[in-house]
Amino acid sequence: MKINSRLSIYSLVILILMSWHISAAQKLASGPQVLTFFSSADDTEQPYGLYIPKNYDPAKKYPLVMMLHGAGSNHRLELRRVFGKSNAADETDVEASRYFPEWEDVDFIVASPLARGTAGYQGIPELDVYDVLADVKKRFNIDENRTYLTGLSMGGGGTLWIGLTRPDIWAAIAPVCAAPPAGTIDLARNASNFPVHFFHGDKDPVVPVESTRNWVSKMQDLGVEVTYKEFVDVKHDSWVNAYDDEFIFSWFNQVRNPFPNEVKFSSKFYKYNKAYWVQFDKMRSGVLSDITANFKRSNTLEIKTKELDGFTLNLLGHAKFISNQPVTFSIDGTALSAKVDSTISFVKNGAAWAINKEMITNVVEKKKGSEGPVFDAFSSRHVYVYGTADNPSEEELKKRMDVANEAANWSVYRGPFLGRMMFFPRVLSDKEVRASDFETCNLILFGTKETNVVINKYADKLPVHLNAATKDYGLLYVFPVDKHYVAISSGLPWWTGVVDQGFPFVPATHRNLSEFKDILFFKDSSKNIITEGYFTQEWKLPDAVLTPLTKSGVITVSK
């Protein structure tokens, strides 16, 4: 018994030592390095730069800075930039990307996504930023109330877009010479609960300084806490001054309040339907919805809305909310009262608001993950599917394959500065689509119900079809089917007639995707639009879109 007992103790000691050794071996070194996460968008490992402070203590919560790179740059360069480490004299970006110089330690974790290279920060690159954020949180002990966002040029624009569409994630944001996507400034009021610090050079020839001045002026008018540093006689490289001497880490000292007394929030999309304790439930496609929700005192709220038809308040945890006690609401002048355990929803009936007590399921309507527009089908995992249902000739089959391959070729070479967009979706024939693809992917379908097996599979559910014999028309639309989207491209592909001009964040084939509404119908060229628009909240075609479709003589409308 003694021998067995000694062996058991010995075995236990060995297991403990082995466990300690494995744990120690898996520990990442401090300092700058590159990690990867697995992207479900195209089943690839995607890199991001990472800085771990010296003497990292897993028991301690750390602030996190997310750094977004500019056009022509990458995750390695931006990890240097945010620490104020510019290129050495006469050094190219390619040469500077090969190593990390030494810099002063900061007590922050810093992450810099590649985000597919030069591709803006909407769609798949935006998804990458959140995937990196999730990966860092999984690996390290991150303080959710001290998470910050900054970036330069294209990345400065991404900072504004990502920071304002999901404002309750960030404690502060700092855009440098920002070039934001169109429409971002409509969301300026979303920064009401965190500070913003802008930087720009007054001689910037790439992103005019007037853009940032307008942003600062608008935010000041809205009451946002905004500061601005404009550098005299500085061109587009204002990041050299902005991040000099690790300044940004001393400025990022704010703490997020997850339960502010007042929430001001604007959005056009269910994809971005939440801020703090407010959630949008019912909006109108393409229309900016606004809310200002304010705790006047405990269990008393005043709420004002614009272009909003339904919303929910998630009050649990708010200092001014007392659970299961009467709560009074003034919503656009309508007085309401109810006992609330944690959440309460409201719906607009005509011009008046009412408490929404109905839980309706299995209704086909626009909602988060099923709202359009067309670009939403391309903004997460998707595959491109060409048709073989009509047994095409070898020549015709090649044409169809070529169209699908062109649509999937996001990685076309754009010269030595911009390089390639590192996104690699799959291309399949309609007979190669597997059950797992139907389950997990948005489907970009080329052809008609006569030529594509998958379109035919969903034919009864789809609202419109282009006649198979049509040669000079193009139809593109997005529609929810089962758990995902289908995007139907019948006839001429959506990029027909597109001229490759302007700054190519994405290839010419994809350049207009983010501008499309839910449906586009054109003749000869996508510039010659017959009709376009949004489906209704119930995914029906409005008369303004339906009438030109039926009059064309080449469209069949489902009943």
Quick one: three-class SS letters along 323-380? CCCEEEEEECCEEEEEECCCEEEEEEECCEEEECCCCCCCCCCCECCECCCHHHHCCC
Residues 398 and 534 in one domain: yes
CB-based contact 209:230 (threshold 8 Å): yes
User: What is the mean pLDDT, run by run of 10 residues, along the chain of 559 residues?
Assistant: 51 51 62 98 98 96 98 97 95 96 97 97 98 98 98 98 98 97 97 98 97 98 98 98 98 98 98 98 94 98 97 97 96 96 94 83 80 97 98 98 98 92 97 97 98 98 95 97 95 93 80 95 96 96 96 92
CA nearest neighbour of 260 among 299, 293, 226: 293
| Structural domain contains residue 360 | no
| Structural domain contains residue 14 | no
Residues 169 and 76 in one domain: yes
How many other β-carbons are positioned within 10 Å of the β-carbon of residue 312?
A: 17
CB-based contact 151:71 (threshold 8 Å): no
| Structural domain contains residue 58 | yes
- Looking up tokens 């030592």 gives 17
- Exposure string for 189-211, b = 16+ CB within 10 A, e = fewer: bbbbbbbbbbbbbeebeebebeb
| Structural domain contains residue 236 | yes
pLDDT the model gives residue 5: 53
Residues 158 and 275 in one domain: no
CA nearest neighbour of 347 among 300, 305, 317, 302: 305
| Structural domain contains residue 365 | no
| 74/125 Cα distance (integer angstroms) | 12
pLDDT the model gives residue 24: 41
pLDDT the model gives residue 363: 61
Residue 438, phi-psi category: left (phi > 0), alpha (psi -120 to 50), beta (remainder):
alpha
Residues 196 and 270 in one domain: no
Residues 321 and 379 in one domain: no
Amino acid at 334: T
Residues 133 and 69 in one domain: yes
Residues 310 and 341 in one domain: yes
CA nearest neighbour of 539 among 379, 378, 372, 377: 372
- For residue 91, the enclosing domain spans 25-251
Residues 346 and 401 in one domain: no
Of 211, 231, 251, the residue that ends a domain is 251
Question: The domain spanning residue 63 has which CATH number?
Answer: 3.40.50.1820
Residues 277 and 299 in one domain: yes
- Looking up tokens 């001054």 gives 241
| Structural domain contains residue 256 | no
Residues 449 and 312 in one domain: no
- Exposure string for 439-452, b = 16+ CB within 10 A, e = fewer: eebbbbbbbbbebb
Residues 131 and 268 in one domain: no
| Structural domain contains residue 297 | yes
pTM over 0.95: no
Domain count, the chain: 3
| 207/177 Cα distance (integer angstroms) | 7
Cis peptide before 542 (omega within 30 of 0): no
Distances (CA, A) of 178 to 2, 147, 199: 73, 20, 8
Helix axes 154-165 and 124-139, enclosed angle (nearest 10)? 70
CB-based contact 40:381 (threshold 8 Å): yes
Residues 266 and 240 in one domain: no
pLDDT the model gives residue 109: 98
| Structural domain contains residue 312 | yes
Of 187, 218, 251, the residue that ends a domain is 251
Of 223, 251, 279, the residue that ends a domain is 251
